[in-house]
Amino acid sequence: MQFARVVEVYDRIEATTKRLEMTNLLVGLLRATPPADLDEVVYLTQGRIHPDYMGIELGLAEKMVIRVLAYATGLEEERIETMWRDKGDLGLVAEEAIASRRQKPLESTPLTVAKVYDNLDAIARESGEGSQDRKIRLLSDLLSNATPREAKYIVRMVVGKMRLGVADMTIIDALATTFATKADRDRVERAYNVSSDLGEVARVIAAKGLKGLDEVRLKLFRPIRAMLAERLETLEEIVQRMGKAALEYKYDGLRVQAHISPSKIQLFSRHLEDITGQFPEILEGLRKLSVDRETIVEGEAVPVDANTGEFLPFQEVSRRRGRKTDVERMAKEFPVTLFTFDCLLRGEEDLTPRPYSERRKALETVINVSEGIRHSTVRVTDDVKEAERFFDEALQAGCEGLMAKALDSPYEAGARGYQWIKFKKEYSAALSDTIDLVVVGAFAGRGKRAGSYGALLMAAYDEASDVFRTTCKLGTGFDDETLRQFPEKLKAARRERRPARVDSKIEPDIWFNPEVVLEVRGAELTVSPVHTAAWDAIRSGAGLAVRFPRFTGRWREDKGPEDATTVKELLEMYRGQLKRTKGSH
Ligand code: ATP
């Protein structure tokens, strides 16, 4: 098929804002496309040349494209750069430049879809020595044969900015209408959700019709689109709606889909990008499990403080890009734990149609718990009170809430529904104020912190009983200098046993008499069954903990332990915080 035919439709699609009109234009295009070109037209319309998960992407540097444009049109590079500055869209620049080119090519061959696609694909795959030159040649080859309108789209494609505005769901509608009926769109969508590959869906439906789509199956090393959750405001509503359900801790990290065979492991993100290279520690953990069959599991990767064992804010792993050595360093400094929560494939068997409870059992047999790999904590209940207690435990463990899952629900790829319901506590801004806490214990440092303390046990002052009650483990915000100073500065306060004025359920490696006061900033306060500050005040059998505490660097040498933040103040802060979050808890 001639590429001119395709871009003519693109221009009309670009000019409309109505989804229905867009769908009709696409249907016209798909009908006119011969089967052999169909998947390529679908990918181009999506602004890519392969499904996302393959990681084969265009994205040439604009400078390079400008050079090729200059060469293809005989215009000065500076002139093209000025045009680019004016228009802000290199595609429009290409259109104008090609229209005004001084030397028309002696012979030009009209571009076909196959030619455009093949060259773009080759550009995306080129790498290594001399690849720049080869990319330039491939692009020149296209641009010297392109009409102005074709050049516009080719250039937008190569710089990775196609932006036609056609949503995947619109392409699905158009495929259903073209090859079946509009009413069949759900079956088309299902095939897409399972394969994450609209080109493949187009190929199959064109060749084998709707029935053929049923053969599109979950496959190892091809990610499935993630099942998503709805939200409800109270646990009561959730229990009412679901009855007996599985409640799982909702971890605050990065969703990971792990595809595992005995010889290879690949990881995909929620957006189906290949993130295998970003998490060497997950690969290592999964390899140790020596899974003997093919399997796909899903989980949430959460960074853990190597010293306190507590979760860290997710931001610590969101920067895992860049060079391999950086990734390796981050993996050592902030290793993640993968909390697995679903099993989608086991051996030959696609488990997605099976109920949650069976998939969970499969998960527990396939994945043994090991260093860095765990199962999500789960409790099955239909009791609101128990759900509330479990929620508190989840927050205390550093999670952001609960995920309720219907016991009989299949895994619905790509769908958001009430089979999974999330319940989280919305975290308001950081605690507006810093607090001053007293050091009452320490845990021996590991790794880089060997010889100093990995974390400190911190307490607030309870005026009423003149006792210091614990409220967090503090392990972040320590620079090298501070770490070096700790043992020395705390030496005088060291005790063999728990000092009488310290109330703690946690047993640190070293106890300190409450003397040294540090300034701490926390994200917020949560109810906690392990910390003793404000014990029983909010809920029986629980105290208050500071979430994500960080040392500000300020030693409050001006403060005695009795001048530290009091339990009463913590309680007031907690109540203030509850008001701000409008009691979602
Ligand atoms: P969504 O993923 O629903 O579009 P979002 O990206 O804002 O929304 P959240 O609202 O925080 O994410 O909740 C859903 C996410 O929670 C999941 O995509 C998954 O990454 C994460 N998650 C954490 N723990 C679990 C669990 N036990 N089961 C399922 N998902 C979990």
Ligand 1 centroid to Cα of residue 290, in Å, is 28
Residues 348-369 pLDDT 10s: 899 999 999 999 999 999 998 8
Considering the domain delimited by 232-424, tell me its CATH architecture. 2-Layer Sandwich (3.30)
CB neighbourhood size of 484 (10 A): 13
Question: Residue 95: is its pLDDT beyond 70?
Answer: yes
pLDDT at 536: 94
Mean pLDDT of 127-152: 94
Ligand 1 atom closest to Cα of 252?
A: 23
pLDDT at 117: 98
Calpha distance 310→474 (Å, rounded): 10
Calpha distance 439→487 (Å, rounded): 12
Calpha distance 8→442 (Å, rounded): 70
For residue 249, the cross-strand partners are: 402
Find the angle CA(338)-CA(247)-CA(392) to the nearest 5 degrees: 85
* Contact criterion met (CB below 8 Å) for 509 and 446: no
Ligand 1 centroid to Cα of residue 361, in Å, is 21
363 lines ligand 1 (CB under 6 A): no
Calpha distance 41→27 (Å, rounded): 12
341 lines ligand 1 (CB under 6 A): yes
Ligand 1 centroid to Cα of residue 227, in Å, is 9
For residue 457, the cross-strand partners are: 441, 473
pLDDT at 103: 66
376 lines ligand 1 (CB under 6 A): yes
The pair phi, psi for residue 405, each rounded to 5°, is -130, 130
DSSP state of 160: T
Q: Which residue is closest in CA terms to ligand 1's atom 24?
A: 250
pLDDT at 584: 43
Question: Residue 260: is its pLDDT beyond 50?
Answer: yes
- Residue type present at position 339: F
Which part of the chain has CATH 2.40.50.140? 434-583
Calpha distance 312→301 (Å, rounded): 11
Q: Which residue is closest in CA terms to ligand 1's atom 11?
A: 252
Q: Which listed residue (18, 63, 87, 250) is catalytic?
A: 250
Which part of the chain has CATH 3.30.470.30? 232-424
Range with the poorest average pLDDT among 69-83, 220-234, 325-339, 375-389? 325-339
Mean pLDDT of 278-287: 94
Strands, E, within 504-581: which ranges? Answer: 510-512, 517-521, 524-528, 543-547, 550-555
Ligand 1 centroid to Cα of residue 282, in Å, is 19
Ligand 1 centroid to Cα of residue 199, in Å, is 28
Ligand 1 atom closest to Cα of 229?
A: 3
Q: Which residue is closest in CA terms to ligand 1's atom 16?
A: 250
Q: What percent of the chain has pLDDT over 70?
A: 96
**In whole angstroms, what separates CA 85 from the centre of its chain?**
34
Question: Residue 204: is its pLDDT beyond 90?
Answer: yes
Class of domain 434-583: mainly beta
Calpha distance 268→266 (Å, rounded): 7
250: annotated active-site residue? yes
Alpha helices in 17-61 (DSSP H): 19-32, 35-46
Mapped to the 3 state alphabet, what secondary structure does 81-134 carry? HHHHHHHCCHHHHHHHHHHCCCCCCCCCCCCEHHHHHHHHHHHHHCCCCCHHHH
Give the residue from 266, 269, 273 showing the smallest Cα distance to 254.
269
Residues 416-444 pLDDT 10s: 889 999 998 754 434 667 899 999 999 99
